[in-house]
Copies of this chain bind each other. A is one copy, B any other.
Amino acid sequence: MNAPAKDALVLFMPSGRRGRFPLGTTVLDAGRSLGVYIESVCGGRGICGRCQIQVTEGEFAKHQITSAASHLSPFTETESLYVSKRGELEGRRLSCTATILGDLVVDVPQDVQINRQIVRKRAETRTIERDPATQLCYVEVEEPDMEKPLGDTDRLLRALAEQWRLQSPLIDLHLLPKVQKILREGEWKVTAAVHHEHGRPVVVALWPGLHNFACGIAVDIGSTTIACHLSSLLSGRTLASAGAPNPQIRFGEDLMSRVSYVMMNPDGRQAMTTAVRNAIAVLIGKVCGEAEISPDEILECVFVGNPIMHHLFLGIDPTELGGAPFALAVSEALHFKGSELGLPVNEGARVYTLPCIAGHVGADAAGATLAEGPHRGDEITLLVDVGTNAEIVLGNRDRLVAASSPTGPAFEGAEISSGQRAAPGAIERVRIDPETLEPRLKIIGSDHWSDEPEFLEAAESLGVTGICGSAIIEVMGELFLAGVIDEDGVIDGSLAAKSDRIVQTGRTWAYVLWRSGQPGSNREIRILQTDVRAIQLAKAALYAGVRLLMDKLGIDHVDRIKLAGAFGNYIDPKYALIIGLVPDCPLDKVAGVGNAAGTGARMALLNKGYRAEIESLVRRIEKIETAMEPRFQEHFVSAMAFPNKVESFPNLAASVPLPARKSAGDGADGSPRRRGRARRGLE
């Protein structure tokens, strides 16, 4: 016979943390003492219902724990009262009142799932343990007493210190005029929003009674689009999302033209700061409207963006980022009040911006790195955010390097004769028959290929207006696979004999991707030699940057490639490999990862641990300035070819029949002859 146990083994899932606790300990206390994050607004009074957990019956041999629901105390009076007021717990228990009677496996429900399916259309989801920088703390405050004339605010702060173990809490000035009224309205029971920053807890908002709701926003300020997500800080659920074009576009399409605008116009910086802040204010109104909450419920705001967006949002002149040495005004993460930026959120709401990695590798790249976590694994991961500037992070848990490459706007459809933004009518998919050289294509707004009868109707109503970014990559890849362009990117004029798709334009040749079927219309969408050259320049710049980072790490292949951003999300990884945008890699290890920057922002919103993680990570990322590296130019020239002349592509070759190289054996040399050819191509 065993003597009755005096303590019990408790395992918390999904974190896997475990420990022994005296019988009678509440599950909440046990979890917290192990550092398991269990939300609780009321501080264990059984009224907020946030600390729910679940205990499953059965044996857990794997965990060496025989768990049974009977190892948890029976349903308590507090729980009955809670159920009578707030509704069923549906098999869950309130961990602040349920106590440990024997070995247990406790499931902490993770309502927080940053569901990537929505953004990326792939199955991976991730569970984020919550630990937001702002927490709600319900307290009972002593009433004033003439014998002890401590101020009402001081008694509130003392109650917080005692009941929530907060060290010397402070309070925002804007609350001082409201404290007395709120305390009396709540009959000396109030809920404080406490923000933790720089080591000192600060009361940033206050409500009478129990206030069981708190929100935050995560915003990705892209140069083209601004995306805003509203999340509950308590459940972690995303309540609403909205996006809008960045209104700075009217000052300049790409980043550098916006910097020029600031340099040329005395009020340019102010105008762009106002524009982006107003757009964000509108988005905040939109997500709040959609979720039917007051903007006053927003207590935390996290922002990411490339360095120029980051600076303009903060009211900083980005001129220094326009030229060497590309000095950031500030690179570290920043904390301030929403009111300092005029954001229409709770007056005490706090703002956090992720750190910038380098002059052209911004807080958005930091967010993407945080979300994709190359630093968490052993695989050498290449993370690329493709835009006007490509932001590149490469490495694994041991070492990370980062750089930006001046790809220019070709990938976004600019500098391409028929290029356009993604919009209905834009060509988004292309296939070219290697025998007949006839194309098949799809346009945005129709699900049908152009050889299906339904396509014509869509084409007539939408028009076939141009080629969007992702299709440009595809058409180049298909032209290369079909032999229309050779490895040096030259359109083969001799094929004009075989197909009327090959036409002469001045001294070079072009490929006719689309001809209007309308009688009397001679509208055509052509791929010109200059278009091929523009893509060659852009992809060579990106590849050279990646290659430089690989040189730094002394590696000749990568284990995994993640393409972030809208562009990275829509391009077919196969074509990225075929045109040599990225180094060779097994096709199933290359994937678009959607708005990883935004995901990183949401992580920093929901858990302050991620803030510490990205801040210390950014400090240790080694930054490479491509413009400073002599080898960049060398890699760049060699990477002009399709796929390129820097490396062979065994993984790619295994899945796609690549055309034979013109001169096998000298693929990787970048010999003067080839360089000369490549350069001529630029003229």
Contacts and interface: CB of A to CB of B under 8 A. Distances in A.
A336 B340 CA distance: 14
A64 B229 CA distance: 73
B326 A154 contact: no
Interface in A285-334: 314-317, 320, 324-332, 334
Contacts of A1: none
A154 to B, nearest CB: 5
A364 interface: no
Contacts of A448: none
Contact of A180 (B314, B327, B334, B356): B327
A435 interface: no
Given A153-B330, A198-B200, A332-B154, A325 B177 contact: no
Contacts of A148: 623
A324 B179 contact: no
A353 to B, nearest CB: 10
Nearest to A340: B173
Given A177-B317, A329-B177, A329-B180, A625 B359 contact: no
Copy number in the complex reads 2
A392 to B, nearest CB: 14
A170 interface: yes
A316 B146 contact: no
B315 A176 contact: yes
A315 B198 contact: no
Interface string A211-254: 00000000000000000000000000000000000000000000
A151 B324 contact: no
A623 B316 CA distance: 51
A163 to B, nearest CB: 19
A445 interface: no
Interface in A175-200: 176-177, 179-181, 198-200
A170 B198 CA distance: 9
Q: How many A residues touch the partner, as a band? A: 35 or more
Given A316-B176, A325-B144, A326-B146, A151 B628 contact: no
Given A170-B198, A198-B170, A179 B147 contact: no
A338 to B, nearest CB: 11
A328 B151 contact: yes
A264 interface: no
A332 B198 contact: no
Given A200-B198, A317-B180, A320-B180, A154 B623 contact: no
A3 interface: no
A30 interface: no
A513 B152 CA distance: 49
Contact of A336 (B151, B173, B334): B173
A145 interface: yes
A627 interface: yes
Given A177-B315, A314-B177, A332 B151 contact: yes
B176 A330 contact: yes
A32 to B, nearest CB: 26
A161 to B, nearest CB: 12
Contact of A152 (B173, B174, B330): B330
B623 A149 contact: yes
Contacts of A356: 151
Interface string A615-635: 000000001010110000000
Interface string A266-287: 0000000000000000000000
A660 interface: no
A118 interface: no
A639 interface: no
A150 interface: yes
A90 B60 CA distance: 86
A561 interface: no
Given A170-B198, A176-B316, A180-B320, A149 B330 contact: no
Contacts of A198: 170, 200
A627 B149 CA distance: 13
A368 interface: no
A359 B327 contact: no
A369 to B, nearest CB: 15
A100 interface: no
A631 B148 CA distance: 19
Interface in A98-153: 144-153
Contacts of A149: 325-328, 331, 357-359, 623, 625
Contacts of A332: 151, 153-154
Given A170-B198, A176-B315, A327 B147 contact: no
Contacts of A627: 146
Given A144-B327, A151-B330, A154-B328, 17 more contacts: A144-B326, A146-B325, A146-B628, A149-B328, A149-B331, A149-B359, A149-B625, A151-B329, A152-B328, A152-B330, A153-B329, A154-B330, A154-B331, A173-B334, A176-B329, A181-B317, A199-B199
Smallest CB-CB A-B distances: 8 pairs: A151-B331, A144-B327, A151-B328, A149-B358, A153-B330, A146-B625, A151-B330, A173-B336
17 contacts: A144-B320, A144-B325, A144-B327, A145-B325, A146-B325, A147-B625, A149-B326, A149-B623, A151-B327, A152-B320, A153-B331, A173-B334, A176-B314, A176-B330, A179-B329, A181-B317, A198-B200
